Amino acid sequence: NQAGSILTSVRQGIKEDTIDIYAEAKVATMEIVVMNNNGNTVTDVAILGRIPFKGVKDIATGEDLGTTLDTKLVSMLSSDVRNAAEFKVYYSENGEATKDLQDAANGWIENPESLDNIKSYLIVPVNEEYEMKETEILRFTYQYEIPANLSHNEDIYGTFLAYFTNN
């Protein structure tokens, strides 16, 4: 409802905001924040995520998150300039893609011709030797479109899971 309103969730439950029903489509920004709070460096960092779409599941548990409508990715993912490394982002139309870049069923591509059907993203460091330092924070954002003419009680959930090796 409020222009420029921000919802933040770092695995602390549901965050709510109100969007007027039957309004025009809106572009929202999702922020992905990963912090190394392990007390030491981590390697083999990969961030697997899903944009909000009907049927989106929690990556770790497979539980349906309850999204009641489909959204559309309208921007490529952006890496925050403060990130300590350079990252590659892969995109897939597969809503259940895994982090395995070699599995053709995942359909990972770096430069999709269209973002209209993208459901998953995978963020990996360009340098395979990258070590994420203790307390280091990584930030990424993307924009997605919430469709027009929403009815009452619609729910939108995006999700991501960070993979790493604890050193």
Pairing of strands 120-125, 42-50: antiparallel
Query: % helix / strand / coil in the chain, to the nearest 5?
Result: 0, 35, 65
- Tokens in use for 115? 């973002």
Average pLDDT in the chain: 89
Return d(Cα 16, Cα 155) in angstroms, integer.
Answer: 9
Exposure of 154 in the CB half-sphere (CA atoms within 13 A): 20
Q: What is the residue whose two structure tokens read 């599995």? A: 103
Return d(Cα 76, Cα 99) in angstroms, integer.
Answer: 18
Lowest average pLDDT, out of 2-6, 11-15, 149-153, goes to 2-6
Bridge partners of residue 163, in order along the sequence: 46
Return d(Cα 120, Cα 97) in angstroms, integer.
Answer: 7
| Cα first-last separation, the chain | 44
Q: Which whole number is the average pLDDT over 92-107?
A: 98
Q: What pTM was estimated for this model as a whole?
A: 0.90
Residue 11 has pLDDT above 70, yes or no: no
Count of residues making up the chain: 167
- Percent with pLDDT over 90 in the chain: 75
6 — pLDDT class (breaks 50, 70, 90): very low
Q: Are 124 and 45 in contact (CB under 8 A)?
A: yes
Residue 8 has pLDDT above 90, yes or no: no
Confidence (pLDDT) at 14 = 62
Q: What is the residue whose two structure tokens read 């952006």? A: 78
13 — pLDDT class (breaks 50, 70, 90): low
More confident residue, 73 or 154: 73
